[in-house]
Amino acid sequence: MKKTLLFIGVFTASLSGCDVFENSKAQIEQQYLSENQELKAAIETIREQGLEAVAASAEKGSVAACVAKNLDADPMGALVEVEGALQDSADLAGLVETINSLTEQELSIETIGQLLQHGADTVDYLKTLLSEYELSELQSQLTSLLEQGQNKTQDVGQHLRELIEQCQ
């Protein structure tokens, strides 16, 4: 009985520890966005309405239109809809490798377990990207992104920040 309670306590503490990291990443992102109110407004609008809706409706020449255009043209752009993505240090090459491994095997309990080992962010990213692209299309676009000179050690957040900072 004591072992069970101890296990439940440790498990619960470890889960709440994950929330601390998630919240801190979101807070760092908010601090980053607070430095440029136009970028912040554009990102908030994209998260509320969706990338495609903002790309279609933003006033030409506005910061929001520029941000939406840059993100929409990039295969990783949809990730901006995930809160905290602008500060995520997840490796782009690692994300592509995860996507490649999904195409090579059938989806099963084992592959879902392996995917979860990569972290909740990876699962959120894959869900977001797969809502935009077919798996094979996503794989080819991300592979070409890395081949076009993107630094294989570059992280998701840095990549997204470079895309939106071109609009300042």
pTM for this entry: 0.72
> Is residue 12 predicted with pLDDT exceeding 60?
no
Please give the pLDDT value at position 13. 43
45-54, 82-91, 108-117, 159-168: the lowest-pLDDT one:
108-117
Higher pLDDT, 154 or 36: 36
Cα–Cα distance between 126 and 35 in angstroms, integer? 29
CA dihedral 151, 155, 157, 159 (to 10 degrees): 10
Residue range 24-47, pLDDT digits in tens: 888 999 999 999 999 999 999 999
